[in-house]
Amino acid sequence: MAQKQSQRRGGPNSPTSSSSRRKATPQVSPSEVTYLLHIAAGHLAAMRAMMEEATHTLGATINNHDDTPTPRELIDKADLLTPQQASGIAVRDEKTIRRWHRDFGIGIVIGGTLFIRKSKLLAHLAHTKRSAE
Protein backbone atom coordinates (compact mmCIF):
# COMPACT_ATOMS: atom_id res chain seq x y z
CA MET A 1 0.00 0.00 0.00
CA ALA A 2 2.86 2.38 0.78
CA GLN A 3 4.19 1.74 -2.69
CA LYS A 4 0.87 2.74 -4.32
CA GLN A 5 0.73 5.98 -2.28
CA SER A 6 4.30 6.77 -3.30
CA GLN A 7 3.40 6.37 -6.96
CA ARG A 8 0.23 8.48 -6.62
CA ARG A 9 2.07 11.32 -4.94
CA GLY A 10 4.83 11.35 -7.50
CA GLY A 11 7.49 10.03 -5.15
CA PRO A 12 11.15 9.52 -6.07
CA ASN A 13 10.51 6.13 -7.70
CA SER A 14 7.48 7.18 -9.71
CA PRO A 15 7.75 7.48 -13.49
CA THR A 16 6.27 11.01 -13.36
CA SER A 17 9.06 12.33 -11.13
CA SER A 18 11.00 15.27 -12.56
CA SER A 19 14.34 13.58 -11.88
CA SER A 20 13.52 10.64 -14.11
CA ARG A 21 12.36 12.81 -17.05
CA ARG A 22 14.98 14.29 -19.32
CA LYS A 23 14.35 17.56 -20.98
CA ALA A 24 14.93 17.62 -24.68
CA THR A 25 17.84 19.83 -25.66
CA PRO A 26 17.42 21.71 -28.90
CA GLN A 27 19.74 20.58 -31.66
CA VAL A 28 21.61 23.43 -33.30
CA SER A 29 23.41 22.84 -36.55
CA PRO A 30 26.99 24.07 -37.00
CA SER A 31 25.84 26.52 -39.68
CA GLU A 32 23.37 28.11 -37.21
CA VAL A 33 26.13 28.43 -34.61
CA THR A 34 28.39 30.10 -37.18
CA TYR A 35 25.59 32.49 -38.15
CA LEU A 36 24.91 33.44 -34.51
CA LEU A 37 28.63 33.97 -33.85
CA HIS A 38 28.82 36.19 -36.93
CA ILE A 39 25.93 38.33 -35.64
CA ALA A 40 27.50 38.55 -32.16
CA ALA A 41 30.84 39.58 -33.67
CA GLY A 42 29.09 42.33 -35.63
CA HIS A 43 27.45 43.65 -32.48
CA LEU A 44 30.75 43.58 -30.61
CA ALA A 45 32.47 45.49 -33.43
CA ALA A 46 29.74 48.14 -33.36
CA MET A 47 30.02 48.46 -29.57
CA ARG A 48 33.81 48.79 -29.83
CA ALA A 49 33.44 51.57 -32.41
CA MET A 50 31.01 53.43 -30.14
CA MET A 51 33.40 53.08 -27.20
CA GLU A 52 36.32 54.42 -29.27
CA GLU A 53 34.22 57.38 -30.40
CA ALA A 54 33.15 58.13 -26.82
CA THR A 55 36.75 57.85 -25.63
CA HIS A 56 37.91 60.20 -28.39
CA THR A 57 35.17 62.73 -27.57
CA LEU A 58 35.96 62.56 -23.86
CA GLY A 59 39.67 63.01 -24.54
CA ALA A 60 38.98 66.03 -26.73
CA THR A 61 36.76 67.50 -24.03
CA ILE A 62 39.42 66.99 -21.36
CA ASN A 63 42.16 68.47 -23.59
CA ASN A 64 40.05 71.56 -24.38
CA HIS A 65 39.23 72.37 -20.78
CA ASP A 66 41.57 75.38 -20.90
CA ASP A 67 39.34 77.11 -23.46
CA THR A 68 36.13 76.80 -21.46
CA PRO A 69 35.52 79.35 -18.72
CA THR A 70 35.27 78.12 -15.17
CA PRO A 71 32.13 78.92 -13.17
CA ARG A 72 34.05 81.60 -11.26
CA GLU A 73 34.89 83.37 -14.50
CA LEU A 74 31.23 83.31 -15.58
CA ILE A 75 30.06 85.23 -12.51
CA ASP A 76 30.72 88.96 -12.50
CA LYS A 77 31.21 90.06 -8.89
CA ALA A 78 29.95 93.55 -9.68
CA ASP A 79 26.62 91.98 -10.74
CA LEU A 80 26.01 90.34 -7.33
CA LEU A 81 23.95 91.93 -4.58
CA THR A 82 22.86 90.75 -1.17
CA PRO A 83 19.09 90.40 -0.76
CA GLN A 84 19.17 93.47 1.49
CA GLN A 85 20.91 95.56 -1.20
CA ALA A 86 18.51 94.24 -3.83
CA SER A 87 15.51 95.16 -1.70
CA GLY A 88 16.85 98.72 -1.48
CA ILE A 89 17.21 98.98 -5.27
CA ALA A 90 13.81 97.42 -6.00
CA VAL A 91 12.06 99.23 -3.14
CA ARG A 92 10.52 95.91 -2.09
CA ASP A 93 10.74 93.84 1.06
CA GLU A 94 13.64 91.40 1.44
CA LYS A 95 11.15 88.50 1.62
CA THR A 96 9.80 89.56 -1.78
CA ILE A 97 13.32 89.49 -3.23
CA ARG A 98 13.85 85.98 -1.83
CA ARG A 99 10.49 84.91 -3.28
CA TRP A 100 11.47 86.32 -6.68
CA HIS A 101 14.66 84.30 -6.48
CA ARG A 102 12.64 81.18 -5.76
CA ASP A 103 9.98 81.84 -8.40
CA PHE A 104 11.91 83.60 -11.17
CA GLY A 105 15.54 82.57 -10.58
CA ILE A 106 16.97 86.08 -10.28
CA GLY A 107 19.70 85.01 -7.88
CA ILE A 108 22.41 82.46 -7.31
CA VAL A 109 23.47 80.55 -4.22
CA ILE A 110 27.22 80.46 -3.68
CA GLY A 111 28.53 78.50 -0.73
CA GLY A 112 25.09 78.51 0.87
CA THR A 113 24.75 82.30 0.62
CA LEU A 114 22.11 83.86 -1.61
CA PHE A 115 23.21 86.58 -4.00
CA ILE A 116 20.85 88.45 -6.31
CA ARG A 117 22.08 89.18 -9.82
CA LYS A 118 21.60 92.89 -10.46
CA SER A 119 21.08 92.39 -14.21
CA LYS A 120 18.28 89.85 -13.65
CA LEU A 121 16.71 91.98 -10.93
CA LEU A 122 16.58 95.02 -13.20
CA ALA A 123 15.24 92.92 -16.09
CA HIS A 124 12.54 91.52 -13.79
CA LEU A 125 11.61 94.99 -12.58
CA ALA A 126 11.44 96.27 -16.18
CA HIS A 127 9.25 93.33 -17.17
CA THR A 128 6.86 93.78 -14.25
CA LYS A 129 6.68 97.54 -14.94
CA ARG A 130 5.85 96.90 -18.63
CA SER A 131 3.21 94.31 -17.76
CA ALA A 132 1.61 96.72 -15.28
CA GLU A 133 1.22 99.42 -17.94
Render pLDDT for 10-63 as a digit per residue (tens, 0 to 9). Answer: 555 555 555 567 777 778 788 888 888 999 999 999 999 888 888 877 766 666
Q: Are residues 102 and 118 in the same domain?
A: yes
Q: Are residues 34 and 51 in the same domain?
A: yes
How many angstroms separate the first and last alpha carbons of the chain? 101
Handedness of CA 39, 42, 46, 51 (dihedral sign): positive
- At 108, is the secondary structure helix, strand, or coil? strand
Q: Are residues 120 and 90 in the same domain?
A: yes
Q: Are residues 94 and 109 in the same domain?
A: yes
Q: For the whole model, what pTM was predicted? A: 0.46
Q: Are residues 34 and 82 in the same domain?
A: no
What is the span of the domain harbouring residue 112? Answer: 71-128
Where among 50, 68, 86 does a domain terminate?
A: 68
Render pLDDT for 57-110 as a digit per residue (tens, 0 to 9). Answer: 776 666 655 555 556 557 788 899 999 999 999 999 999 999 999 999 999 998
Q: Are residues 53 and 84 in the same domain?
A: no
Rounded to 5 degrees, φ, ψ at 18 are -70, -25
